[in-house]
């Protein structure tokens, strides 16, 4: 049996779903120009929000950048080739971490009464938790966008401090990456898919 057949035999989702979510999905920079609807973003979030985070903190925040004026404000802070990629995308999401995530914990994590008050003075701990868990959620969101029929182009080549000053001076959110979103034109990328490391290269079993 080939490796591919072995992988397929152990999947619990159908082939079309595995193709859509992983095998055929690329980091996209080429778009059809089709609009991204609020309903599609809602559908993606309704899946992504279910991915696990420590103490159910859900620190990821999204700035949905749609208008040409807002796009231009964002482009100013993107690095080199990423400027044109933001301009070309139907929608760009600024993914950010909210260090004030603890404000929601009475609702989100009622099994641990008092955790909101406990975390309030622990600024450094909250910043680390926010970043780690928001990055996890970014991964969930990319796959959820694909499940909603969209393609995603993540990028972190940007002036994060500049973006924070531009958009998050009041909220205190900390930008992590920009994810361009839309409908992929063909494969969505001008580059061939890069190779990946096999399980044997990245794991040790004890
Ligand atoms: C966190 C992150 C940051 C990235 N930053 C950039 C970037 O600044 N510019 C860019 O063009 N691509 C960027 N990429 C795209 C990666 O190069 C791409 O995801 C990787 O090569 C895999 O490509 P594939 O999904 O098409 O197989 C980034 C991807 C991730 C996940």
Residue 153, in any domain of the structure? yes
Q: Whose CA is nearest to atom 13 of ligand 1?
A: 155
Residue 110, in any domain of the structure? yes
Ligand 1 atom showing the smallest separation from residue 29 Cα: 11
Q: Whose CA is nearest to atom 5 of ligand 1?
A: 155
- pLDDT at residue 6 is higher than 80: no
CA of 57 to the centre of ligand 1 (A): 26
Q: CA 191, 60, 20, 68 torsion: positive or negative?
A: negative
Residue 148, in any domain of the structure? yes
- pLDDT at residue 5 is higher than 60: no
Residue 48, in any domain of the structure? yes
pLDDT at 8 (0 to 100): 56
pLDDT at 186 (0 to 100): 97
Cβ–ligand 1 distance for 155 under 6 Å, the answer yes
CA of 41 to the centre of ligand 1 (A): 21
% of residues, the chain, pLDDT over 70:
96
Res. 202 pLDDT band, cuts 50 70 90: very high
- pLDDT at residue 2 is higher than 60: no
Could you give the number of structural domains in the chain? 1
Give the pLDDT mean for 106-110: 98
Cβ–ligand 1 distance for 187 under 6 Å, the answer no
Write out pLDDT tens, residues 33-65. 999 999 999 999 999 999 999 999 999 999 999
- DSSP 8-state symbol, 22: I
Residue 10, in any domain of the structure? no
pLDDT at 3 (0 to 100): 47
CATH number at residue 121: 3.40.109.10
Write out pLDDT tens, residues 118-149. 999 999 999 999 999 999 999 999 999 999 99
- pLDDT at residue 9 is higher than 90: no
- Walk across the sheet containing 151-155 and list its strands: 60-65, 91-97, 174-182, 151-155
Question: 11: buried, middle or exposed (CB in 10 Å: 19+, 13-18, 0-12)?
Answer: exposed
Residue 155, in any domain of the structure? yes
Q: Is 188 left (phi over 0), alpha (psi -120 to 50) or beta?
A: left
Residue 187, in any domain of the structure? no
Residue 197, in any domain of the structure? no
Q: Which domain holds residue 91?
A: 35-180
């Amino acid at each position: 049996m080939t490796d591919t057949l072995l992988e397929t035999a152990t999947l619990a989702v159908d082939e079309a779903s595995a193709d859509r979510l992983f095998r055929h999905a690329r980091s996209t920079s080429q778009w059809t120009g089709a609009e991204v609807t609020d309903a599609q973003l809602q559908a993606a979030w309704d899946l992504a929000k279910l991915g696990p985070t420590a103490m159910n903190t859900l620190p990821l925040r999204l700035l949905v950048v749609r208008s040409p004026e807002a796009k231009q404000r964002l482009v100013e802070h993107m690095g080199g080739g990423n400027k044109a990629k933001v301009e070309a995308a139907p929608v760009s999401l600024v993914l950010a971490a909210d260090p004030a995530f603890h404000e929601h914990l009475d609702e989100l994590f009622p099994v641990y009464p008092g955790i909101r008050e406990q975390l309030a003075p622990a600024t450094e701990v909250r910043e680390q938790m926010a970043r780690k868990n928001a990055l996890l959620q970014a991964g969930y969101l990319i796959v959820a966008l694909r499940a909603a029929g969209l393609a995603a182009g993540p990028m972190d080549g940007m002036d994060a401090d500049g973006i924070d000053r531009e958009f998050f001076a009041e909220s205190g959110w900390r930008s992590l990456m920009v994810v361009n979103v839309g409908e992929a034109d063909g494969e969505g990328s001008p580059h061939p898919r890069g190779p990946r490391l096999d399980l044997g290269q990245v794991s040790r079993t004890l």
